[in-house]
Each structure stands twice: as C-alpha cells, then as structure tokens.
Structure 1
Amino acid sequence: MQIKNILFSIGLFSLLCACAHKPHAPATTYTLPAPEDVVMYQVNPRVFAPNASFNAVGSYLDSIRHMGVNVVWFMPINEVGKEKSVNSPYCVKDYKGVNPEFGTMQEFKQLVGQCHEKGMSVIMDWVANHTSWDNAWMAHKDWYTQDEAGNVVFPAGTGWKDVADLNFDNPDMRLAMIDAMTFWVDSVGIDGFRCDAADFVPYDFWKQALDSLRSRSERPLLMLAEGKRKDHFAAGFDMDYAWNFLEGIRRVFLKDSCATTLIDIDRAEYDSIPAGKRKLRFTTNHDESVKMTPIREFGGERGSMAAFVISSYLHGGALIYSSQEVGHPERIDFFHYCPVDWSANSALRREYETLMKLYNEYPAIRKGELRTYPGCDVFTFEKEADGQRILVVINVRDSNQVVTLPEAWKNHVCANLFTGGSEPLTESLPLAPYEYKILKY
C-alpha cells in the first residue's frame, strides 16, 4: 500500500508540473470572418508612436475591438530601404524582417497574439510589385525589370522612383516571394494579406501564390487585393477595392451627381463577383488621408458620417482607418510619424461603435437582399434577411430635406436602431442636413 501511495504521489506531482508548464489558452478564441462579415481596421503604425509602435497599438486594441472590428490590417511593417528613399513603408528592404522603428519581431508576434486573444484576425500589407533599391534581392539582377541597357527600373507609369520594379517572368523570384509570404503565415501567425498595387502584378502570379499559401496553411486565410481587376477573384482573392464607389460618393457629396448614381455603381461593381466575395468600401484610407480627411472632404463631421453609412451599409465590406474614429482634422502623411489625439471627440467614436455594433448584430445590414428607392438628395434603401427588414435613409445634402417613404413603411411605428427608441412614421420623413436614420420594421 505504501508503494502505491508513493507512486500515486509521484504521478500527481508530475501531473501538476505538466499543468504548470502548459501554455495558457487564449482568453477568447477568434474565427476568421467570411468576407461578407468583415469589419476591418487599418493600422498605420506611424500615427500611434514615434517609435515602439507595436506596443502602442497593443495598448489600443480594446478600443479597436469596441468598434466591432474583426480584422486588423497592418500597413507594411518591414524595414524601409535607405537608397533613394522617401521613407515610404511600401519601400521594402527585407521581406522577412520588421522595421526597427516599430519594434522587434517578437513584439509583433505578441501583438498578433493579442489581436487573436481579443477575437480579431490579422492581415498585413504585402508589397509584391517592387522592393527598395538596397533589398538583398538586388544580388539577383534578373529578378528585376530592366531597360534596354540592362539597368533596373522603377515601376513604369509611376513616379515611384524610390523602388525597383520586380520581374514576374523570373520563376526563382516568384518562389522567393511565396516563401516569404509563407513565413508570415506559418512563423508569425497572421491570417492573410492586403496585397498592395495588386493590379500591377500578373494574374498568374497571384493564382500561383494564393493556391500555394492555402495548400500549405492549416488555417483559412483572408486575401484582399488593392485593385479592381475582375480576375482577382479568379486568382483566389476574397475581397478587392471599391474605388469606383468611392469616386461615386465624392461626386454625390459635391452635388455633381444624384444619389441614385450609387445604385448603378454598386450594381456594376458586383456584376461579375462570385457569391460570397466582397468589395472593400471606405471613405478614407492611407492613400486618401494623405490628401484630405473625410471630415474636410464630405462637408464636415456630419457629412463624413453620412458618407460612411452609405459606404458600409449598402453592401457591406466596412473599413475604418486609424484616426478616422476620432475625427482627426488634418491630412496624415504616412511617410513620417503623425501624432493623433486618441482622446479627442469621444462622441464621434461612440457613433462609429454604435454603427458597427448594429452592423454586426443585424445580418440584414451586412448581406441582406437589397431594395433601393430612387432619389437625388436622399439615399434610401431597404435590406432584408432572416425576417429582418431594415430601412436606411440618408440625407446627402447640407440642407434640410423631406423624403416620401416607401408604401410599406408609411404610417408605421418602427424601431430606431441607432437611438434605441421608437419612431412613428407618417407619409414622409424630414431630415436635417446630412442626417441619417436606421429603422427596423
């Protein structure tokens, strides 16, 4: 009996030791969202801190999560080249390294883990079209596009003289690129890529790379193309950019177009997209904010929010750019550190939080059957799914408007989803400048 007790004690001690050394499970598990359910937040590390940005972003993750975000997109975190440099993060010196300005590889891995623990997936920018002039790949001159004299050139038709154009006719370069992408998925744990300048890169490379990544990965991946070529979806991308829709919203808010033109643009953008794929829609991103913020572009804070509701609620695919949620008034030069007051405009932050909470809570908003009602100054559409009927009415003008309601909604008491109260309707609905209503039947 004494021997049995000793053996039992040894076994129990071993079990306790094993448990003590077992890694703790994440506080919450995360699931990569389907493209139609994506709420994406774009992290520009250079608005969070002048250095050690990874740690600064980590301390802000709860605020990002509270906006209903389920995918965090990091702009390029690779080391920036020095030769001919303008300090652009899209000038990559090392495809498998991180920019010391932002922190260390271990700190980025920890940041990815933090995102996952908070229920958010992570994608990172991938710059496939070009590298810096001092990238180690320059040892292979045939990996780059050359002129007739044999000189490596920058991408044709651009002013991007700080980068060297890659030659996708070279199979060795392609394999090196795919190997580097695989490193970030397998060794760092990211969940996909936002592929920069995707329209510049041949279809057959994207097909080769995406097929290879997905065949090697045990996890599903989210692939976003910065481009609007229709063959991106055939290559395996899940989402691409809704550039045409952004231009349409601009024309509407400049009073150059009626709101109904957005219906035609939406239909054209989705005309040949496979089921389940999505256009990423936005009112700003790093390329746009370097020129003008949405608050200045769309007629002030109220106009910027009216435009955001249209871009995110009409057909899903929502994006928030870091600084947008606090209404940062000035343009952001992403080539250098730009301080943002994250405590500013708490009311605007709460508005984004409420809008995205509704977006996540009601599938009809993200992916319901769409019914539109023509109008020039007021954009009205209905979304229906799973027995939910939601009417979105948006004044796109900086003046008071009155819109005639659809027949089914006249003289009906609805739930005002944004305020949480009830909304008794009559034959028509008055709207203040840039006011919007989100109503549930």
Structure 2
Amino acid sequence: MYQVNPRVFAADHSFNAVKARLDSIESLGVNVLWFMPVYEIGQEKSVNSPYCIKDYRALNPEFGTLDEFKSMVKEAHKRGMSVILDWVANHTSWDSSWIKDNPEWYTKDSLGNIICPAGTGWKDVADLDFDNQDMRKAMISDMKYWIEEYGVDGFRCDAADFVPFDFWQQAVRELRSIPDRKLLLLAEGRRKDHFDAGFDMNYAWGYLSALRRVYHNDAPATALASADSLEYAGLQPGKVKLRFTTNHDEAVRTPAVKEFCNERGAMAAFVATTYIHGGMLIYGSQEVGYPEGIDFFKYVPVDWSANPSYREEYKSIVSFYNGHPALRRGTVRIYPDKDVLMFSREYGDDSVFVAVNVRNRPVTVNSPEGELSLDAFEYIIRDLKK
C-alpha cells in the first residue's frame, strides 16, 4: 500500500500530478493507493487540515476536478492498482451543511452547544453523534457515492477507535452489499473488534512502539517478535495488521531516516517491520529518503528524482516480498537474539530467512545459517528453497 498525500505532489491539480507519477509508483510494486482526504475543507476555525471535511461529496478544488480525479482512478486501475480514500467519519468542519440543516446529528454539551471531539484538542472540527440513525444513513450513503460513481475500491477509516462498533458493522455490511465490488477496508485503530465489524486491516501501532524502544532505548530485538505475536494473537485467518515505519502523522514530527538514526537504520527498520508479518505501507516521499518533516496542512515539494539508489532498494525489498507467499502468509519461526531480529517464514514450498541488525554497530551472531557478521543496520534476506 502506498499512501498519497496530494500536497507533496503539486501545489494545485494534484490529481494530475499523481497520475503522471503512476508508472513510477507502480514500479515500486504497489497494488493499493491510499489517498488522504480529498474532500472540500471547511473554513470556519480551520487550520487547513484535510481531515476537516465540509462536504463529503465535493472535492477540495486545490487537488483538481472530479473529472481529473476520475481519470486518475481509471489510470490507476489500468495498472492493476486499487484506490482507497481516507474517510473521516468521526467529525465534520464547523461550516458543514450538516450543522446548519441537521444540528441534531452532533454531540452537544449540557447547554446544548455542539462540541469538538472530547479529549482531542481538535478545535477545528465538530463531533458527530452516532446515536442519530439519520446521520448514520447519510454517512453511509456518501461512502457509497464514491464507490458507485467514481470507482474507488474502499476506505481507510480515520480515527476508527472513536466511532462505535455497531456503526462500523452497519457501514461495512452495506458497503460490501454493493454488487460486483471487492472492497478493501482499513481501520485506523487498534481495537480488535474492527475485524468483527468486517474490516480487512487495522493499524499495528504496538509494533511501531516496540520498534522505537529497540532503536531509542536499546530494548532487545526480541521485543519486536513479542510485539508481533501479541498483535496477531486471536486474529481470524486472513485479517491483517498494517505495518509501517512512517505515515503522515509520524512524518509531521520527523522522517523515518531521522526517527531510525539514518538511511540505513530506516531501511533496516522497514525490513524488520514488514517482513515478519502484516501488510506493508510506504508513505509517499519515504522511498526517496525525504530528510525533513512533512506538514500535511500545506504544500511541501518533494524531489522525486533524489536518492535513486535508495528508491531502487525499496523496489528490491517490495519485489522480493511480492514474490514470496511465505512473507505474506507464512508461519513465523523466531531465532531469539538481543541485537538481531532473526526469523524464518514458510508457506508451502516457499521458505525465507531474514536477519536484521537493529543496532548502529557491527554485530556477530549465531544463526541457523551459521555465524553471521552484520555491519551496522545491515540486513540479510535469503531464499531457502530457490
């Protein structure tokens, strides 16, 4: 999966800029494009966040027209890539027509005033009340609109932990009833009941937290195996935790190449994160090792021609991942070590061995493949049944 922040592609008409880069994105081995919110943004109390939605059926004119969006989706489909949209169900902008026409759809305080989502500090948005059945119906209708009219292939549902289980269950059931459409539904949350509601994937924040402890606090590499096991405990077969080393929320603070020490550390972190289990996410700009934080509230130009060897390394890693079912569906066997994450994965006659030095220093370790000497942040990937 490739996360598209339209604001790193162009200052305006971003859909056309993304369309022009589809061949390049496809060459990474990507089969899903996740677009951050593309909808019209509210102006009242606005901080220019794309997650402040004024109209769920209107596009942000900053990104282009509906025809340009539809053309971009069509071209992505030609290349075998699905397109999913960020869906912000928890709240709307303060100048949404919903507030004017249906104030009863919103959460209110004891004085009857509409409030922002409690405990968030998100003062630019108004909290929706999911006890209101009419609001639910309108929300689901708007979700269906993008699938039926513009051919999108699913949603990444923002702040999914804030939204009641029974709404997601209702929405997923109705979306999956659309004829002749196979949808991908991702919940931005950690609740396991997202899978009971019918989502295909949710977020692997626990693994990212463990990765940070390993890199920042010298926690043992075995902490990663423990986090992986904990996240997958009790999950139904076929359900997936989305694994990532960065995304739009993380990159605001610091890019992966600084979060994980340097370019080599970030690449080692990516292998350790995605090869052990789960779905794979690349945040657009990550593949060129963009060295600064990205504020997604404004246009941030990215030089896509920078660091070509780093991009080629991402291509190689994703290509190997795509070519080995063991890395997507195989059983995991851990070989414990405090400095090197070592594991093998098997599925049918496919078998892969992976060793990742998660330290910024050379390490020598005993492994099933014999003694391994790894440079700082070096990783080894071996096809055992080639």
> TM-score higher than 0.5 here?
yes
- The partner residue of 1:438 within 376, 381, 385 is 381
Contact 1:87 1:335 (8 Å CA) reproduced:
yes
The structural deviation recorded for 1:272 is 1.6
Q: Which has the larger radius of gyration?
A: 1
SS in 2 for 1:194: strand
Q: Tell me if 1:170 matches 2:132.
A: yes
For 2:361, the aligned partner's letter is S
Matches of 2:130 and 2:218, distance apart in 1 = 41
- The partner residue of 1:65 within 10, 17, 26 is 26
Q: 1:314-357 CA deviation, whole Å, 9 max, x = no partner?
A: 00300000100001000000000001010000000000000000
Post-superposition, which runs of at least 4 consecutive aligned residues in structure 1 deviate over 3 A? none
- The partner residue of 1:118 within 76, 79, 88 is 79
Matches of 2:80 and 2:178, distance apart in 1 = 24
SS in 1 for 2:55: coil
Contact 1:373 1:381 (8 Å CA) reproduced:
yes
Contact 1:185 1:217 (8 Å CA) reproduced:
no
The residue correspondences of 1:183-202 to structure 2 (distance < 5 A) are: 183-202=145-164
The residue correspondences of 1:37-436 to structure 2 (distance < 5 A) are: 40-138=1-99, 139-406=101-368, 409=369, 427-436=370-379
The structural deviation recorded for 1:216 is 2.3
Question: Identity of counterpart residues, as a percentage?
Answer: 59
Contact 1:389 1:440 (8 Å CA) reproduced:
yes
Comparing 382-391 with 157-166, which one deviates more in the overlay?
Answer: 382-391
SS in 1 for 2:59: coil
The structural deviation recorded for 1:255 is 3.6
The answer for unaligned runs of 5 or more in structure 2 is none
CA RMSD of aligned residues (A): 0.7
Q: 1:131-170 CA deviation, whole Å, 9 max, x = no partner?
A: 0000110121100000111100000011100000000000
SS in 2 for 1:96: strand
Q: 1:100-146 CA deviation, whole Å, 9 max, x = no partner?
A: 00000111011110110011011000000000000110121100000
* Count of equivalent residues: 383
Scaled by the length of structure 1, the TM-score of the pair is 0.86
Matches of 1:122 and 1:111, distance apart in 2 = 10
The answer for unaligned runs of 5 or more in structure 1 is 1-39, 410-426
The structural deviation recorded for 1:254 is 1.4
Contact 1:81 1:133 (8 Å CA) reproduced:
yes
The structural deviation recorded for 1:366 is 1.6
Matches of 1:200 and 1:256, distance apart in 2 = 33
Scaled by the length of structure 2, the TM-score of the pair is 0.98
Contact 2:225 2:334 (8 Å CA) reproduced:
yes
Contact 1:186 1:217 (8 Å CA) reproduced:
no
SS in 2 for 1:106: helix
Q: 1:235-285 CA deviation, whole Å, 9 max, x = no partner?
A: 000000000100100111114310101111111101121110100000000
The structural deviation recorded for 1:389 is 1.8
The structural deviation recorded for 1:440 is 1.7
Contact 2:335 2:367 (8 Å CA) reproduced:
no
